[in-house]
Structure 1
């Protein structure tokens, strides 16, 4: 088997593994394998192919790692307004129970509302900060 064929097969296997696992880093390693295949096509030696593939693959993984580390963390789905349409909406709490919960009518149903830890449970308008299971975690407006 020709060296370039082995490199292309390795690149294909890395792409398949990436599709199965969802890891973006495997795509960067597949790019390294493609560089190894191109080096083989241009008649470079085996050691040059390996070094080129390793440098590009590891460099691409390192750059992706740095970019991911710099980007801001995503909010969990329970408190992300882009995912959960209830976050940011306002509910009116008439009366709090002794256990720190309240019942409110919201979107045509009765919901159990809980207040953030340490916040005062006062009647009035509250903004939904997060949906925890089937409860609304609210902040006083």
Structure 2
């Protein structure tokens, strides 16, 4: 098997592994391996092929790292409706317990159980419908509709 075939086989294996991982870093190394295969097709010796592959893989990886494309967004799971299905749901508060200097609290029936509810900062503690904005442990943080 010739050198260029080995380089492209390595690139294909790396692309397959990349599909399983989804991080894009193996794809950058696969690009470097493909560059090594192109260098082999151009007739460069083994050392030059390795240098071309390593250099291009390093440049591609550095570029990916600097682009921010591979960075995962930091999401607060307490406020994310994709993680906590209660976020965004409505509930009815009949009476608030208001203490000076503290957030207004209430005890409400939601999904067949009693829950502690805290009013989000800036909300008005009046009876009525509220939307769940966050879940902190067993306490629901709500705001006015």
Deviation at 1:40, TM superposition (A): 0.7
Deviation at 1:34, TM superposition (A): 0.7
Does the 8 A contact of 2:120 with 2:142 survive in 1?
A: no
SS in 2 for 1:79: coil
* Structure 1: stretches of 5+ with no match in the other structure: none
Give yes or no for the alignment of 1:103 onto 2:108: yes
Q: How many residues align?
A: 137
Specify the structure having the higher radius of gyration (Cα): 2
Deviation at 1:29, TM superposition (A): 0.7
- RMSD over aligned Cα, in angstroms? 3.6
Question: Given the two structures, how large is their TM-score scaled by the length of structure 2?
Answer: 0.67
Question: Given the two structures, how large is their TM-score scaled by the length of structure 1?
Answer: 0.68
Partner of 2:132: 128
Higher helix proportion (structure 1 or 2):
1
Deviation at 1:94, TM superposition (A): 1.7
Partner of 2:102: none
Does the 8 A contact of 2:92 with 2:108 survive in 1?
A: no
Give yes or no for the alignment of 1:137 onto 2:141: yes
Query: Residue 118 of structure 2 is aligned with which of 112, 115, 118?
Result: 115
Does the 8 A contact of 2:119 with 2:125 survive in 1?
A: no
Q: Distance in 1 between matches of 2:24 and 2:80?
A: 24
Deviation at 1:132, TM superposition (A): 5.5
* Structure 2: stretches of 5+ with no match in the other structure: 98-104
Q: Distance in 2 between matches of 1:101 and 1:9?
A: 64
